[in-house]
Chain A
Amino acid sequence: MNAPFFKYALFGDEMSLVVAFVIGIGFGFFLERAGFGNARLLAAQFYFRDLRVLKVMFTAIITAMVGAYLLGRLGLLDLSLVYLTPTFLVPQIAGGLILGAGFIIGGYCPGTSCVSAATGRIDGMVYLAGMIGGLLGFAEVYPSIERFTKITAMGQITLARQFHLSYGFLVFAVVLMAFGAFVMAELAEKFIGGKEPGPGALLEPVRTFTPVRRFAVVLTGLGVVALFAGSPYRSALAQVDTKQLALDALRAADQVTADQLADWLVEGRNDYLLVDVRDAQSFAAYHIPGAVNLPLSGLNHDFAQRNERVVFYSDNAIHTAQAWFLIRSLGFPSVYILAGGLETWQEAVLYPRAPAAGAAPKDQIDFAKRMAVAKFFGGSARGATSEVANPVAPVLPKLAPPSPTAPAPDNAQPAKKKKKEGC
C-alpha cells in the first residue's frame, strides 16, 4: 500500500475534489456532533464551565497522531509526503493571539462558524461575513506587512526535530499529556463550573471499565508502543530489493525513449522531474528543456519528493545507470533512464533522418511529425543521404535567447502548479 493515495497518483485532481467534499461532510458532521455549532458551548471553555473544546480537540489530535504514527511506522503511510505547514514562529504566535481574541469575542473559529451557519445560527452567519471582511482587510494591507509575515522562517519542522527528541517519545508524551489535561478539565468543570462528571466522563463515579476509559487505555497503550518503536518517517536508507531491481532492469521498464520524452515535453506534462547528471559546464552548454542539473555527487534522499517520477539522462550511460540505482536504493519507486542518453536524443529528436525516397507512406507521415518536433526543440531534419553529404556531426543548438520566429525551447518547460497546499 502506497499512502497518501493522492500523492502516488491513485486518482487525479478532479477526483481529489470529490474526496474533499466527502471528507468535508465527515468533518462538518463531527464538528456539529461535538456541539461546536453553538457559540455558548464553545465560549464555556474559557470560563471552565464546559471544557468541550479541549476534550474534542485533543482527542482528535491524539487519535490522528497515533494513527498516522502507527501507519508510518508500519510503512503503510509515507509521512514525509503529508503536507506540513512551514513554521514562521513570530507571525504564528501573533496570529494565534489575534485568533484567540477573535475566538472569545466572536465565539467561533472558521470551521465551527460554518456548521453553526449551516444549522441556522444567525451569529454564525454574521461571524462568517465578518471573517470575509477581515480577509479583505488583511489582503489590502498585505503588501506593507509582507515582510513581517515572513520573518523567523524555520521551514517544515516538527517538534521532534527542533528539540532533538524521538518522535515516538513525543507521541507518548502528548497522549499522556492529553489524558492528564482531560482529567484536569473534568476536575475544573466540577469545582469551578459546578458540573458533576456525567456518564461517559473519565471521572464518572462508577467503578466499571467504561468505554471511554477503555479507549483511554488503548490509546495510552499505543503511546507506550510508540515510545519504543522509533521514528515513523521512512528511513533514508530503505532496504534494496535486488530481485525487483533486477527484474525492472531486465524488462526495460525503467527506460523512457527519446521520442516519449519529446512527447511529454511537447504536451507540457508536469508530473515528472527531468534530471541532468552531467557537470554544470556541460549543462550550461546544452540541456534538454525543462531539465534540472544535479551532478551525481549531489544526489541524496531529499532531492525530490519520494512520489515524484524522476527521469535521468547524461551523455555517459554508466553515470545514468549509477544514478538510477542510487535513487532506487533510496526508496524512490518510479525512476527512469532516458534510453540512449543525450546521443539518442540528438539523433532521434533534434536531427531526425529523413526516410529514403521510396519509403512507405507511413514512414513519410512519421517523419513529418518528427520534423515538427525537431523544430519545436530548435533542431532540424537531416536528408536521407546526409551521412555521405554531410560528414560533420550536427552540432547541438545553442541556448540562445529565443528568436521570435523559432518556437522557444523554453515553451516546453513544465508548468509547475502555483496554488498553495496549506490552509
Chain B
Amino acid sequence: MTEFTLYRHNPLLDPAVHVWGWEIPVYLFLGGLVAGLMIIAGVRLLIMRPTARQALVCCTVGPLIGLVLLSAGMFALFLDLSHKFYVWRLYLAFEPTSPMSWGAWILLFVYPALLANALTHLPEAIPALAKRVPVLVTISDYILARPRIVVGIGLANMAIGVALGIYTGVLLGAMGARPLWNSAVLGPLFLFSGLSTAAALLHGILVLTTPDDERPQFADFLLSMVARWSQARPLDTRIAPTLAQADNSFLTIELGLLGFLLIGHLTSTAVHQQAAGLLLTGPYAAVFWVFVVGLGILVPLVIQHLELLHRIRHTIAPSLLVLSGGLVLRFVLVAAGQASHWATALP
C-alpha cells in the first residue's frame, strides 16, 4: 500500500466515498455480543459435568438469543452492502489477506456451533417445545451420551467465538486510511467488550428470572407469562454472581485495552495523536467519556461490585448500562474513525 492510497478513501476528501451509517456499528456490536455468548457458552459447557441435565442460561438461552442476534446483525450488514445480489461471491473464494473474507467464512461456522450448543440442553430449558418436537430430546440425548462431542462443541464455540470477536475489531483495523483504527488493540478490545456485553446480557436475564424476593416487581408479570408458556424450570440462578464477577473482569480488561489504544495513538505520529484527540478532547469527547467510559464501564463496575458485596440488590441496571455502553463504543469508534484522516497532518 502506498502513502497515496492511505490518505485518500476518506469522505472528507472524496465526498463520493460512502459514509458508514448505523448499520456497521450495530453489526459490530451484535457480532461482538454473539462472540461473547459463544465463548461463555463454550466455557460453561466444558466446566460442568457433561451428563448433568439442567436448564442453563449460558448454554441454552444464550446461544438461542445469539442465533437471533447474529441474524439481525447479518441483516444490518446486508443492508449496508452496495451490491446486495453478489453476497454469494464472497463464498466462492478464500482470500487469506482480506478480513472480509475471513469474516464471511467465520460467520458461516457460527450458526452450526451455536445451534449445537443450544440443542445440548434445550429440552430442560423449554420443555413445552421439546414435548411437541420429540426429535430435540433425541438429539440432546445423543450429544450428552457422548462426552467427546460435548467437549468438541465447547471447544468449537470458544475458538469460533474468539475468532469472531477479534475479527470485528480487525475489520476496522484493516482500513489503512483511518488513523484511529490503525491499532492492533482494536481486535482484543472488541473481543472483551463483546464478552462483557454477553456476560451482562446473561446476568440481566438471570436477574429477571430470579425468585420473587430478589426480583424487581415490574418484571413479575412479563416473566410469569413467558414461564407459563414454556413451562420452564428455574434457570441456574446460582451462577448470577459468577457472571457479575466475570463481567467485572471483562469490563476492567476492556478499560485497560481502551487505555492502551489511546496511549498507543498518543505516542505515535501526529495524525494518530489527532485521531486520539477526537475521543479525548475533540468533538466525540463528551459521548466517549460519559457514555462509554462512565455509564458503559465505570458505573456498572461499581454497581456490580456493590452487588457482589451484597451491599445492594441485583438489578438489571448494570446489564442495560453495559449493553448500551458496548453499542455506543462501536458507534463512537466508527464515527470518530471516519472523521480521523491523514490529510490533517498535511500542510
Do A18 and B216 have beta carbons less than 8 Å apart?
A: no
Do B294 and A21 have beta carbons less than 8 Å apart?
A: yes
Do A21 and B216 have beta carbons less than 8 Å apart?
A: no
Do B216 and A12 have beta carbons less than 8 Å apart?
A: no
Do A14 and B286 have beta carbons less than 8 Å apart?
A: yes
Q: How far in angstroms is the closest Cβ of chain A from B11?
A: 22
**Interface assignment of B285: CB less than 8 Å from any CB of chain A:** yes
**Interface assignment of B281: CB less than 8 Å from any CB of chain A:** yes
Which chain A positions have C-beta within 8 A of B211? none
**Interface assignment of A120: CB less than 8 Å from any CB of chain B:** yes
**Interface assignment of B290: CB less than 8 Å from any CB of chain A:** yes
Interface residues of B in 194-224 (CB under 8 A from A): 216, 218
Do B216 and A120 have beta carbons less than 8 Å apart?
A: yes
Contact of A12 among B281, B289, B290 (CB under 8 A): B281
Interface size on A, residues (CB 8 A): 7
Do A14 and B285 have beta carbons less than 8 Å apart?
A: yes
Interface residues of B in 233-285 (CB under 8 A from A): 281-285
**Interface assignment of A10: CB less than 8 Å from any CB of chain B:** no
Do A15 and B294 have beta carbons less than 8 Å apart?
A: no
Do A17 and B281 have beta carbons less than 8 Å apart?
A: no
Taken together as a complex, chains A and B put the C-alpha atoms of A171 and B281 apart, in Å, by 39
Taken together as a complex, chains A and B put the C-alpha atoms of A14 and B280 apart, in Å, by 9
Which chain B positions have C-beta within 8 A of A12? 281
Contact of A18 among B218, B282, B283, B286 (CB under 8 A): B286
Which chain A positions have C-beta within 8 A of B284? 14
Do A21 and B290 have beta carbons less than 8 Å apart?
A: yes
Do B286 and A17 have beta carbons less than 8 Å apart?
A: yes
Which chain A positions have C-beta within 8 A of B216? 120
Taken together as a complex, chains A and B put the C-alpha atoms of A120 and B218 apart, in Å, by 9
- Majority SS at the chain A contact face: helix
Which chain A positions have C-beta within 8 A of B283? 14
Do A14 and B281 have beta carbons less than 8 Å apart?
A: yes
Which chain B positions have C-beta within 8 A of A15? 281, 285-286
Interface residues of B in 275-331 (CB under 8 A from A): 281-286, 289-290, 294
Do A18 and B290 have beta carbons less than 8 Å apart?
A: yes
Q: How far in angstroms is the closest Cβ of chain A from B276?
A: 14
Which chain A positions have C-beta within 8 A of B218? 120
Taken together as a complex, chains A and B put the C-alpha atoms of A18 and B295 apart, in Å, by 11
Which chain A positions have C-beta within 8 A of B282? 14
Q: How far in angstroms is the closest Cβ of chain A from B121?
A: 34
Taken together as a complex, chains A and B put the C-alpha atoms of A15 and B284 apart, in Å, by 10
Which chain B positions have C-beta within 8 A of A14? 281-286
Which chain A positions have C-beta within 8 A of B290? 17-18, 21
Which chain A positions have C-beta within 8 A of B281? 12, 14-15
Which chain A positions have C-beta within 8 A of B286? 14-15, 17-18
A1-39 to B contact mask, C-beta < 8 Å, 1/0: 000000000001011011001000000000000000000
Taken together as a complex, chains A and B put the C-alpha atoms of A334 and B323 apart, in Å, by 46
Which chain B positions have C-beta within 8 A of A21? 289-290, 294
Residue of A12, A14, A18 most packed against chain B (CB within 10 A): A14
Interface residues of A in 174-223 (CB under 8 A from B): none
Taken together as a complex, chains A and B put the C-alpha atoms of A14 and B289 apart, in Å, by 10
Residue of A nearest to B294 (CB): A21
Taken together as a complex, chains A and B put the C-alpha atoms of A65 and B320 apart, in Å, by 39
Q: How far in angstroms is the closest Cβ of chain A from B287?
A: 8
Residue of B nearest to A24 (CB): B290
Q: How far in angstroms is the closest Cβ of chain A from B282?
A: 7
Q: How far in angstroms is the closest Cβ of chain B from A302?
A: 32
Taken together as a complex, chains A and B put the C-alpha atoms of A21 and B289 apart, in Å, by 10
Which chain B positions have C-beta within 8 A of A120? 216, 218
Taken together as a complex, chains A and B put the C-alpha atoms of A18 and B298 apart, in Å, by 14
Residue of A nearest to B216 (CB): A120
Which chain B positions have C-beta within 8 A of A17? 285-286, 290
Residue of A nearest to B217 (CB): A120
Interface residues of B in 29-58 (CB under 8 A from A): none
Where the two chains meet, the residues of A that have a C-beta atom closer than 8 Å to any C-beta of B are: 12, 14-15, 17-18, 21, 120
- 10 A-B pairs (CB sep. < 8 Å): A12-B281, A14-B281, A14-B283, A14-B284, A15-B285, A17-B285, A17-B290, A18-B290, A21-B290, A120-B216
Known pairs A18-B285, A18-B290, A21-B289 / 14 extra A-B pairs, C-beta < 8 Å:
A14-B282, A14-B283, A14-B284, A14-B285, A14-B286, A15-B281, A15-B286, A17-B285, A17-B286, A18-B286, A18-B289, A21-B294, A120-B216, A120-B218
Closest 6 CB pairs of A and B: A17-B286, A14-B285, A18-B289, A14-B286, A21-B290, A18-B290
